[in-house]
Amino acid sequence: MNIALVPARCGSKSIPFKNIKPLHGRPLIYWVLKALDDATSIDIIYVATDCQKIADTVEALGLKKVTIYRRLAENAQDESSTESVMLEFFDQLKIDQEETLFLAQATTPLLQSTDIEQAYTQYVNSGADSLLSCVRVKSFFWDENGTPLNYDYKDRPRRQDFDGALVENGAFYINKVGNIIKANNRLNGNIVIYEMPEYASVDIDEEDDWLIAEKLMQKYRPSPEI
């Protein structure tokens, strides 16, 4: 069985109730859940939340594969790691270690079901232990000491000749439950990368991110039926 887990806690200091704030006509979390729900490779989706308001909103969406997991308050604090709620979830629901887990982030609304399907095919065919999504960024990176990290400033490449760097966008991760428990980490072993388009780098954390996401959604995601 392939299980998806989407953490969505109440607390959000930058944007209150961010996970269920309307974006492009639907609650923010809808877009990730819809992508997972439409993916044939996903069997069941759990939204791990400590919030009744989020639970009510998610249940009202009527997505057939989605169910609510009530996460413990101790793993829903500002300082709580995603790994802590993953391990709690495995333990509380006695998830078989042979199951495959898709960890998805509620705040990356440009994720689509085709990404899930293609990434899962890549994961299976590669024989990798784990997979993460990235976007390619054609930026020149420096450290605080004035040292370039990914190019030679004396021989500055043209953008079209520059490979750039792959940056983790946090949209989703794939791994076996047993691997995650053993490593206490969403990634381990032989790791492969699924590359998403650059526009999918949007991860909503601040108000400006919201404005950018709304414009990109208008271009790349069809309007939902209301």
Indicate yes or no: pTM above 0.85: yes
What was the pLDDT predicted at 12?
A: 67
pLDDT tens digit sequence for 190-203:
999 999 999 998 88
Identify the pLDDT of residue 180. Answer: 97
What span, in angstroms and rounded, lies between the C-alpha atoms of 61 and 90?
25
pLDDT, residue 221, reads 82
- Determine the pLDDT at residue 226: 42
Tell me how far apart the alpha carbons of residues 32 and 164 are, in angstroms, rounded to a whole number: 27
Domains for the chain: give ranges and CATH numbers: 2-220 (3.90.550.10)
Q: Cβ of 98: how many Cβ atoms within 10 Å?
A: 9
Per-residue pLDDT, 74: 80
| Residue-level pLDDT, tens digit, the chain, 226 residues | 999 999 998 866 677 788 999 999 999 999 999 999 999 999 999 999 999 999 999 999 999 999 999 988 787 777 789 999 999 999 999 999 999 999 999 999 999 999 999 999 999 999 999 999 999 999 999 999 999 999 999 999 998 888 999 999 999 999 999 999 999 999 999 999 999 999 998 888 888 998 999 999 999 887 655 4
Kindly give, in sequence order, each residue whose CB lies less than 8 Å from that of residue 53, ignoring residues fewer than 6 positions away: 10, 17, 20
What's the pLDDT at 13?
A: 65
> Is 156 labeled as catalytic in the residue annotation?
yes
Tell me what percent of the residues of the chain surpass a pLDDT of 90. 79
Expressed in angstroms, the distance from the first to the final Cα of the chain is 32
- CA of residue 172 relative to chain centroid, distance: 4
Q: Which residues pair with 22 in a beta bridge?
A: 27
Q: Identify residue 192 by its one-letter amino acid code.
A: V
Q: Which two tokens stand for residue 66?
A: 């989605």
- What pLDDT does residue 222 have? 72
Q: Which of the following is catalytic: 156, 158, 159, 221?
A: 156
